[in-house]
Chains A and B, each alone.
Chain A
C-alpha cells in the first residue's frame, strides 16, 4: 500500500468530483492551445497572403520592365556624344553636327567600360540632297554597335552592310520602294534592306547606309560627327554622372540627352514599384494590427479562464479535504505523516492536471481547424497544467496536513 494507490482508489471512488476538476483544466488548457493555434494559423495565413502579393507584384514588375525594354528599344538611343566644339545652336538649326571627331573615339569609349551608358554606336550624319530624287534627306552612316557587354548584347540598331540602304517611312512611302528594290544615291547603287515604320521624327526622312561608304561619299574618311548611346536609367541624376564619366575618357567631347520619354517611362516604372512595395507594407501592417488585436484578446481571455479554473480546482480540493476529514484523522493516528497527507491531495491535483492537459490539448487541436502538432506547447501544457492544479490545491492540501487527528477522531 502506498499513497499513489490511495490516490487512484479515491479518484475511482469520487469520479464526479475528479471529473469536474479535469473539466476545468481541460477548459483552461483548451483555451490556451486554441488561442495559440489560432494565432499560429493567422501567421501562416499572413505569410501566404504576403507571398501571393509579392509574387503578383514581381510578375507585374517583370511585365513593366519588359514593356520598358521594348519601348526603349523603339525609341532608340537617348544620349548623343558630340565633338566639344560643336555649337548646339548649329546642331538644332541644321539637324546634324558640323564638327567631326575620329571614329576611333567610339572604340575607346566602349573599351573604357563606363557604367552609366549601354549601347555605343558611332555615326556620321549629314543633311544632303538626294540628287536622284530631288529630296532633302538625312544621310546616316552607321556600322555595327561597339559592344560593351560582350557580343551577346542585342543591338539597338542593326548594322547596315555595304551596298544596302535602310529607309525612313517618309522616304520609302514617297518613293514607293520595297525591300530588295534597287535605288541610286549620289551615283552609287543601293539595295533596300529594310523599311522603317513611321517614327514621327526626323528618322522618317533618314537613310541609313554603311559608315565606311558614307565616309567615302561625304569625304570624311575615318571621321564621325556623333556617338549615340543609351543611358542605363538606373540612377536619378544620370546626366551629370554620364557627363563626368565620358569626360574622363573623351575629354574633347560633350554629352547631350534626348528622347526623355524613355526616362519618364523608367520613372513611372520606379513609381509603380514603390507603390507595390508600399501596398505590401500596408497589407503587412494590417495583418499585424489584426494579430495584435487577437493577441491582446487572448492575453486577457486565457489568463482569466486559467484563473477561473484555478479557483474552481481550489474549491473542489477544499470540498474534497472536508469530505475526507475522518480519513485524514485515522490515517494520522495510524502514523501517516503530515507530509504524506499533503501529497495525498497534491497528487490528486496533479492527476487532475495531467488528465486535463491531455484532453485540453486534444480539444484545442480539434477546435482550431488546421492546427499543427506543437511538441513544445504539449510539453509546456503537460508541465504547466499539473503544476497549476497543484498550486490551486496547495492551501486545501496544507489545511488537510495540518489538521489535528485527535480533534477529528473525537468529533467524528
Chain B
C-alpha cells in the first residue's frame, strides 16, 4: 500500500507570554492510499494544529511531514502553495465558501492555483454528483448548510488530490447531511485517496478504517 501521508515525530508548540502551549507533541502517523483515518479528542487537544501541519499550512517545530513521497516543508513558499493545490483537499467546519461567488465559481476557486484544463467539466461533474446541479448559479447565502458543505467538498475534490483533510466537517450539520459528508469521505478513500478526519463526532469514527485518540497533543490508540 502506498503511503500518502506520513508524520514522523511532529511537534508544534506555541510560545505565549504565559507559557508554552504544547499543541502537538511528538506525533507519528502513516496513512496509506485508500485509508480513512479519524482522530478524536477533546477540545484543545491539538487536532486542528495537527491537521494544519499535515496540510502544509503550518510548519512544525520539528519532525517530518511527507506527502505522497515529498517533503513539502522543504519547498519554497510558492512551491508549497502549488503543492497544496495539486495534492491536498480541505474541508472545514465553517465551509469557508467565497460569499460573492456562485456554486460553480466557488468550486472553481480550486482551479485558481492548479489551472487545470478540464476544471470546468470536472466542476460540473462534481456539482451533479453532489446533487447541486439546480443550485449551480446560487450564491452561498442562498444555500442550506448541508448544500454549503457539499460545495466545499466539491471544491476540495476538484484538483483530484491524493490527501483529503477534514476538520470537524459534520460539526454544523444535521444527522442526514453529516452522514452524506462522511459517506463522501469514505467514497474518496474507496477510490484510492487518503483521508484524515479530525472530529468530536463518534459516528465519524465508526465509518473510518482506523480511529485514533488525541490527548494533550499526543496520539494514542489505533
Do A and B truly interact? yes
Binding site for B on A (CB under 8 A): 1-3, 5-6, 9-10, 12-14, 326-327, 329-340, 405-406, 409-410, 412
Contact B113 A337 (CB under 8 A): yes
Residues of A within 8 A of B58 (CB): 406
Q: Which of B77-85, B142-150, B188-196 sits within the interface?
A: B77-85
Given contacts A409-B52, A410-B52, contact A327 B113 (CB under 8 A): no
Q: How far is the CA of A326 from the CA of B94 in the complex (A)?
A: 10
What range describes how many residues of B lie at the interface?
20 to 34
- Classify the secondary structure of A's interface with B: helix
Binding site for A on B (CB under 8 A): 48, 52, 55, 57-58, 77-78, 81-86, 90, 92, 94, 96-101, 105, 108-114, 119, 155
Given contacts A9-B100, A337-B78, A406-B57, contact A1 B109 (CB under 8 A): yes
Contact B101 A406 (CB under 8 A): no
Given contacts A13-B100, A329-B96, contact A335 B113 (CB under 8 A): yes
In the complex, which residue of chain A has the Cβ closest to the Cβ of B123? Answer: A1
Residues of B within 8 A of A410 (CB): 48, 52
Question: Which 10 pairs between the two chains have the least Cβ-Cβ distance?
Answer: A335-B85, A13-B100, A335-B113, A1-B108, A330-B96, A406-B58, A406-B57, A335-B84, A406-B52, A337-B81
Contact B96 A412 (CB under 8 A): yes
Contact A333 B78 (CB under 8 A): no
Closest chain-A Cβ to B99's Cβ sits at a distance in Å of 7
20 inter-chain pairs at a CB distance below 8 angstroms, sorted by A residue, are A1-B108, A1-B112, A6-B109, A6-B112, A9-B100, A9-B101, A13-B99, A13-B100, A327-B99, A329-B96, A331-B109, A333-B57, A334-B85, A335-B84, A335-B112, A335-B114, A336-B85, A338-B77, A406-B52, A406-B58
Closest chain-A Cβ to B110's Cβ sits at a distance in Å of 5
- Classify the secondary structure of B's interface with A: helix
Contact A330 B57 (CB under 8 A): no
Closest chain-A Cβ to B196's Cβ sits at a distance in Å of 15
In the complex, which residue of chain B has the Cβ closest to the Cβ of A407? Answer: B58
In the complex, which residue of chain B has the Cβ closest to the Cβ of A338? Answer: B77
Given contacts A333-B90, A335-B114, contact A409 B77 (CB under 8 A): no
Q: How far is the CA of A331 from the CA of B111 in the complex (A)?
A: 10
